[in-house]
Amino acid sequence: MDKLTIVKVGGKIVEEELSLAQLLNDFSTISGNKILVHGGGRSATAIAARLGIESKMVDGRRITDKEMLEVVTMVYGGLVNKQIVAGLQAKGCNASGFCGADMDIIRSVKRPVKEIDYGFVGDVIDVNTSELRLLLEQGVSPVIAPLTHNGKGMLLNTNADTIASELAMALAKYFSVHLIYCFEKNGVLSNPDDDNSVIHYIDSALYQQYKTEGVISEGMIPKLDNAFRALNSGVAEVQITNANNLTRHNARGTVLKLS
């Protein structure tokens, strides 16, 4: 089974010139099939402010009203996505930019209103693996913005971590999928105040032990829950690491496996 590497990078990494340049260089050197999923939230917030549009957040999650949907579509699907694609093309990587609506790659449903109305936010319900496989077979590296659609003409803002994991799970039927979450820390830390306290390997049993002992807590739990969900759905390996370690095999951050 061919290998597929899916890399998810946070907004900060793709929005700063130096970190973006490093990312483009490293991603372009990954061999074989690869997909890049990106964010861009800080740019969306900054451009919204310039347009006089207030950004509303609840527990770190963006409320996407009609005006904000227009902003994130412009920023994620346009500015950030095309900067990444152009940069990868300059590195000899045959990248092409997409959102979920392009080629009907990712469909979602508008999140139902419960305690909070998140507005035009989507929850993924389907990944079009046939179209993605055609692209990969042609040597194309899709660069996917965190926007999906409902199949009825509505674009929806969608969490980039979720998009990456949904892509990984759907494509695990056809590839040996390695999912890499890149962010500013070096990996999962045993001490949140010590950037060098990286836990280099976690399996299912260790994860339960670390949660019970309080070694892993708060915001890292949802990330790891999603990671193990992906592993239980056939993804070969999940890696959580600093973007600077993307191609450095001696500094791999945290590797997650079932056992």
DSSP assignment of 108-160: EEEPPPSSS--BSBEEEEEE-HHHHHHHHHTT-EEEE-SEEE-SSS-EEE--H
Most confident of 69-78, 190-199, 216-225: 69-78
Q: Is the pLDDT of residue 2 over 60?
A: yes
Domain boundaries, the chain: 3-183
pLDDT of residue 249: 60
Pick the CATH number of 3-183 from 3.40.1160.10, 3.30.390.10, 1.20.1250.20, 3.40.190.80: 3.40.1160.10
Q: Distance between alpha carbon 230 and the CA centroid of its chain, in Å?
A: 13
182 within 8 A of 254, measured Cβ to Cβ: no
| H/E stretch holding 254 | strand 254-256
Residue 234, CA distances (Å) to 53, 55, 116, 231, 239 in order: 42, 37, 33, 5, 15
Residue range 32-58, pLDDT digits in tens = 999 999 998 889 999 999 999 999 988
Q: What are phi and psi of 62, to 5 degrees?
A: -80, 135
Spatial distance between the Cα atoms of 182 and 246, rounded to a whole number of angstroms? 8
Report pTM: 0.93
Residue range 161-209, pLDDT digits in tens = 999 999 999 999 999 999 999 888 889 998 888 888 999 999 999 999 9
Mean pLDDT of the chain: 92
